[in-house]
Amino acid sequence: MNTSYHLNVTSIESSLKRKVFYIVLTVVIVMLTFQFFDSSNQKFIQSQNIVYTNLFKILKRTSVKNTTVKTSITTTQTTTITATTPAATTTTISTITSLTSLHITPLKNSSNVSITVATLASQTLSTTTATTTNFDEVLCDNITGSKTINMSDNPCERIRCNILLRQSGGRLGNRMFMFASAYGLARAQNCRLFVAQPILKELSSNFQMKPIDKKMLLPAEEVNKLKAISQQLSICEFLPKMLIPHVFHTLEIFGYWQSYLYFDAYREEIREFFSSRDDTLSRLSAYLTNMTVVICPQCPSLPTKTHRELRQAFQNRYNVTWISIHIRRTDFRGLGYSSDDSYIRRAMNIYRRRYHNFDVRFLVASDDRPYCQQIFEGDIKARKVFVLPSRFSPGDDLMALTLCHHAIVTGGTYGFWAAYLGGGEVIHDIRYKAGCSQMEYYPPWFMLIGPLPNRNDKASKT
C-alpha cells in the first residue's frame, strides 16, 4: 500500500521537535504492524489499546505551558480510549489504519501549537489535549510532587539508584548534616536510601525521626547484595555533579557533607525528621511555662502535642520577640574558633534596635553555662535572658532554640542547625573558621558579622 508521510515543523522548540519525531515513528510502526492483523481479532483490538495508551503518554509529554495540541486523524476502524490528564482534560485517541501527513504549526502570537494528521480515508476524528502544566513538570527527572517526608505516588518518581550512609564521625551536628545530605540526594535522584543503625539510633534519641517511606528505604538485607558501589568523599563543599540525573547507580558517601544545598529543596521534610520527641515536648513545655510565668501569670501551660503547636504558642502567646543564642566554647577556645563577648553583645543589640517596638528576650544554650551566667548576669536578673538548664540533653537544647523567632550563632554545626531549623533571621559570627565556602555553607538569610572595633585600642594607637 502506498503511504506518504510528510512532516512540516515550523518555529518550534528543538525539544518539541524530538518528541514529534518519536510520535511519527510510533505511528509508522503502528501502521506497518496493523497491516498484518485481522481487524476482527480480539488480540488486535487489545494491541491497539496498548499502543495508543503509550502514544497518549508521548503526546502528553510534548505539552508546554498554555499549549493546545490538536490532532486530526482519519480512520476506517475506530477504537476509542478516553483518559483524563492531571489538568482534568479528556483526551480521545482512535485507531489509525491509513496515514498520509502530519503537520505541526505554531499559532501566531501565542505559545499554542497545532498538530494535524491527515489520511486518505473518509472518517475523521478530532483529538484535543489542553493543559496548563509547565513543560518541566511533565518530565520525570524534574517532578518533585512530594511535600511531606513520604515519597509521592507519582509513577514518574521511580526508584533508579541507591545511596548508602554507613560511616559517621564528629558530633550531633555533623551527623545531622550527613543524614540530611544523604536524604536530599536520595530525594533528588529518586534513590533508595540506607542509613546505618547506629546513626539512626543516635538521631532518634534526640529527635522524632519519622520512619523513611518504605518505597524509599533500602533494607539492610539488600545492601550486601549490591555490586559496583561507587564512593564519594565530601567534607565541606557542594558537589553539583551529584545532582545530575543518572550520574551514579549505587553510591556510598563519606565525610560530613556540610552544605545546605544538598537538602534545602526538602527543608520541610528535614524539619519533620529533626523535630521534638514526645518526652522532649513534655520537658520543654514544663520548663518554658514556668519560665514565662513572670511574663504572663494567667497564661495556660504550653501545648505538648506537636513541635509545631508548641512553637506557635511560644512565639505568639507572650507578645515577645524571642531570640535564640547558641554559644560553643569548651572545645573551640583551644582552636581559636570561640566567639568573644563583643560579638555576642553586638548581635543582641542589632535585634534590640531592629525590634525596638517589641519586647525582645533571649533564650541561651551553651556547653559553658557558668560563662553565660557571668556575661549575662544583669540581663538574667532583669528576666531578659534565660539560660537553659544543665539537665537538658543536646536534643532538648536544640529543640528549645528552634522555638524562637530569630537566632544568634557563634559557630559550629550544632548552632547552624538551631538557626536553620528555626527558620527566622540569623546572625552568625563571620570569624568562625568553618573551612567551607560561605556561599555553600551559609544559607542566604544568614547575616555574617564580627565584633565592633575596640575604641580604646584605637585611641591608644593614636
How far apart are the C-alpha atoms of 22 and 272, rounded to whole Å?
43
pLDDT value at residue 103: 40
For residue 15, the model assigns a pLDDT of: 60
Domain residues for 188?
A: 143-272
Q: How many of the other CB atoms lie within 10 Å of CB of 308?
A: 13
The position carrying cell 541507591 is 162
261 and 354 share a domain?
no
Alpha helix segments (H runs only) across 116-244: 172-189, 197-206, 220-223
pLDDT of residue 369: 95
Check if the beta carbon of residue 168 is closer than 8 Å to that of residue 413: no
Q: What is the pLDDT of residue 23?
A: 78
pLDDT tens string 153-206: 454 556 789 999 999 889 999 999 999 999 999 999 999 999 999 999 999 999
d(CA 92, CA 94): 7
Cα distances (angstroms) measured from residue 412 to each of 115, 258, 347, 435, 455: 59, 11, 17, 11, 29
Q: Has residue 268 been placed in a domain?
A: yes
**Same domain, yes or no, for 109 and 233?**
no
Of 138, 162, 180, the residue that ends a domain is 138
pLDDT of the residue at 243: 92
Residues 411 and 321 placed together within one structural domain of the fold: yes
CA 299, 304, 307, 308 dihedral sign is negative
Query: Same structural domain for residues 256 and 322?
Result: no
Q: Please check whether residues 246 and 323 belong to one and the same domain.
A: no
**Cα 171 from Cα 256, distance rounded (Å):** 10
Same domain, 328 and 409: yes
Report the domain count for the chain.
3
Judgement on whether residues 218 and 259 belong to the same structural domain of the protein: yes
Integer angstrom CA distances of residue 144 from 61, 147, 300:
16, 8, 41
The whole-model pTM stands at 0.67
What single-letter amino acid sits at 417?
W
Strand spans (E) along 247-381? 250-254, 320-327, 359-366
* Same domain as 223, residue 83: no
Positions of the chain with pLDDT lower than 50, given as ranges = 1-12, 36-45, 51-52, 55-56, 59-149, 152-153, 155, 455-462
Cβ-count burial 163-181 (b if 16+ within 10 Å, e if not): bbbeebeeebbbbbbbbbb
Q: What are phi and psi of 435, to 5 degrees?
A: 75, 15
323, 363 Cβ separation under 8 angstroms: yes
Within a 10 A sphere around the Cβ of 437, how many other Cβ atoms? Answer: 12
